[in-house]
Amino acid sequence: MLTPLHKRLLNDYQRDFPLSPTPYQDIALELGVSEEDVIDAFVELDEQDVITRIGPVIPPNRIGVSTLAAISVPETELEAVAQIISAYPEVNHNYEREHRFNLWFVVIAADAQHLAQVLADIEQQTGYPVMSLPLMEDYFIDLSFKLDLHDD
């Protein structure tokens, strides 16, 4: 269950996590609780699997190169193909979607050559062609997410 402290931590610290020697202490002061409460609450959020981590979000193609890729796989093979693709360290998101192209994943590499090699390797390992749709223009990227955490 999420406590009021959990909800504050989830909503208010997605963007500007304190860059000071004692960030958890800073948050504690802002919220009127103890540093230990804040650290414990973050550990609980992590254990409850509602956060991926506390960390940076890096815009696409600022460091390295990336692409959104899709593959069309028969339903019976989807799970096995998804496992093969998820195993690549260069793959970060990998989702099943309701479409003929039913598996969508993001590949990130240090340079274009490495990216192309990973895509070619995925095609070889899975036996299916990969459609690569690299970013051309970013109209908006704000991955912080305003959460409505009312219990409903």
Q: Among residue numbers 111 through 150, which ones bind other proteins (CB under 8 A)?
A: 113-114, 117-118, 121, 131, 133-149
Convert residues 44-63 into a mask of x (bound to other proteins by CB under 8 A) and - (unbound). -xx-xxxxxxxxxxxx--xx
d(CA 141, CA 58): 10
CA 55 centroid distance within chain: 11
Q: Which of 2, 93, 86, 83 is nearest to 41 (CA)?
A: 2
Within 13 Å and on the Cβ side, how many CA atoms surround 79? Answer: 1
Task: Report the residue number, 32 or 69, with the smaller CB distance to other proteins.
Answer: 69
Confirm or reject binding of residue 74 to other proteins (CB under 8 A): no
Least distance CB 32 / other proteins (angstroms): 18
Task: Map the footprint of other proteins across residues 13-42, applying CB under 8 A.
Answer: 13-17, 19-25, 35, 39, 42
Confirm or reject binding of residue 5 to other proteins (CB under 8 A): no
Least distance CB 58 / other proteins (angstroms): 6
Least distance CB 24 / other proteins (angstroms): 6
Total interface residues for other proteins by CB under 8 A: 84
**Amino acid letter, 110:** A
Task: Report the residue number, 32 or 145, with the smaller CB distance to other proteins.
Answer: 145
> Using an 8 Å Cβ cutoff, are 130 and 102 in contact?
no
Least distance CB 22 / other proteins (angstroms): 6
> Using an 8 Å Cβ cutoff, are 37 and 3 in contact?
no
Q: Which of 140, 146, 118, 141 is nearest to 130 (CA)?
A: 118
> Using an 8 Å Cβ cutoff, are 123 and 129 in contact?
yes
Task: Report the residue number, 32 or 140, with the smaller CB distance to other proteins.
Answer: 140
